[in-house]
């Protein structure tokens, strides 16, 4: 066997140098194992972009190109901005404990807030805007005032105010220097208490120097001006007050009597059975 130029006889070389045959066999086997030119051409046909284009696609072309080193630096910068180390973050157990406290879903919470009418904050804003527009059409000067006498009121507000505020009628003297005999009684009836809640009676008693007992003020109720409480029942109910007593002295006492019935009879009783007493009495109605 000769080479391609016909200048070397390999068979004679192998006879003279047998090691050359071994080396040639190794070289030929290695060449046989390499890819053929057709195979390389087929592989090359699959590479439809150059390595430069692939690099630019991954890192972006200059001047915006970024490398793995840039990515590392960016991640390291983010890590340094974390104010808490990962070891201090809530564990899965902690998060599970928190989650167990959430006894309803966000959907349920949303539905509860929006209500059965499925209203949103947008609906609320629209309603408020409608109210605002309605009020603006009325005028602020009308919002702060009321008519003197609205049609649904049968009296003016000022009259209602005057009817409700506490008032007193002018005092009326019912007894003037009235002498009440020993053990006797003097009385007067009040029947003009409609619209009032209390009767105020003031009694002045001038005792005899030899008297031994004072004066009692007692009141009896009646629904019709005829049928009054009996004396025994009135006193059993505590419907009386006694003036203080000192022989020869003058004593004055004011008594508040609730108006439970249209008619009230006020009796001034001389408790002394031996001597007369001189009495003055006034009464006033209170609302």
- The rounded percent of the chain whose pLDDT value lies above 70 is 80
Residue 41 placed within a domain: no
pLDDT in tens, 241-250: 999 999 999 9
Residue 50 placed within a domain: no
pLDDT in tens, 143-189: 555 555 566 667 777 877 777 777 889 999 999 999 999 999 999 99
pLDDT of residue 5: 47
The average pLDDT across 93-99 equals 81
pLDDT of residue 121: 82
Of the listed ranges 56-60, 83-87, 108-112, 272-276, the one predicted with least confidence: 83-87
Q: How confident is the model at residue 20 (pLDDT cuts 50, 70, 90)?
A: low
- Of 190, 204, 220, whose CA–CA distance to 286 is shortest? 190
Pair type for strands 240-242 and 215-222: antiparallel
pTM of the model as a whole = 0.47
Residue 51 placed within a domain: no
Residue 7 placed within a domain: no
- Of 166, 253, 168, 265, whose CA–CA distance to 216 is shortest? 253
Number of domains forming the structure of the chain:
1
CATH of the domain at 238: 2.60.120.680
Residue 73 placed within a domain: no
Q: Give ∠ CA 154-155-156 in degrees, rounded to 5.
A: 130
pLDDT of residue 152: 64
Of the listed ranges 127-131, 136-140, 185-189, the one predicted with least confidence: 136-140
Structural domain for 247, as ranges: 172-286
- Of 257, 266, 253, 252, whose CA–CA distance to 286 is shortest? 257
Give the tokens for residue 129.
Answer: 């805007």
Q: Which residues contact 176 (CB under 8 A, 6 or more apart)?
A: 280
């Amino acid at each position: 066997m000769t080479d391609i130029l016909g200048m070397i006889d390999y068979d004679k070389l192998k006879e003279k140098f047998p090691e050359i045959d071994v080396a040639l066999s190794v070289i030929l086997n290695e060449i046989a194992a390499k890819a053929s030119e057709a195979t390389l051409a087929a592989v090359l046909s699959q590479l439809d972009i150059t390595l430069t284009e692939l690099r630019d696609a991954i890192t972006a072309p200059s001047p915006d190109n970024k490398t793995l080193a840039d990515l590392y630096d960016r991640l390291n910068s983010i890590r340094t901005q974390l104010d808490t180390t990962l070891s201090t973050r809530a564990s899965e157990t902690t998060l599970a404990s928190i989650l167990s406290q959430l006894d309803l879903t966000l959907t349920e919470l949303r539905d509860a807030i929006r209500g059965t009418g499925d209203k949103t904050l947008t609906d609320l804003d629209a309603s408020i805007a409608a109210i605002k527009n309605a009020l603006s059409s009325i005028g602020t000067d009308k919002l702060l005032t009321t008519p003197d006498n609205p049609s649904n009121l049968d009296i003016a507000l000022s009259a209602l105010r005057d009817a409700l505020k506490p008032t007193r009628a002018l005092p009326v003297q019912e007894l003037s220097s009235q002498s009440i005999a020993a053990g006797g009684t003097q009385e007067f009836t009040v029947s003009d208490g409609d619209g009032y809640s209390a009767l105020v009676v003031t009694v002045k008693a001038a005792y005899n120097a030899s008297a031994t007992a004072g004066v009692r003020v007692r009141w009896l109720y009646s629904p019709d001006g005829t049928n009054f409480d009996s004396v025994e029942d009135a006193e059993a109910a505590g419907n009386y007050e006694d003036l203080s007593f000192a022989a020869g002295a003058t004593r004055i006492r004011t008594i508040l009597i609730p108006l439970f019935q249209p008619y009230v009879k006020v009796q001034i009783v001389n408790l002394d059975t031996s001597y007369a007493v001189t009495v003055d009495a006034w009464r006033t109605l209170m609302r």
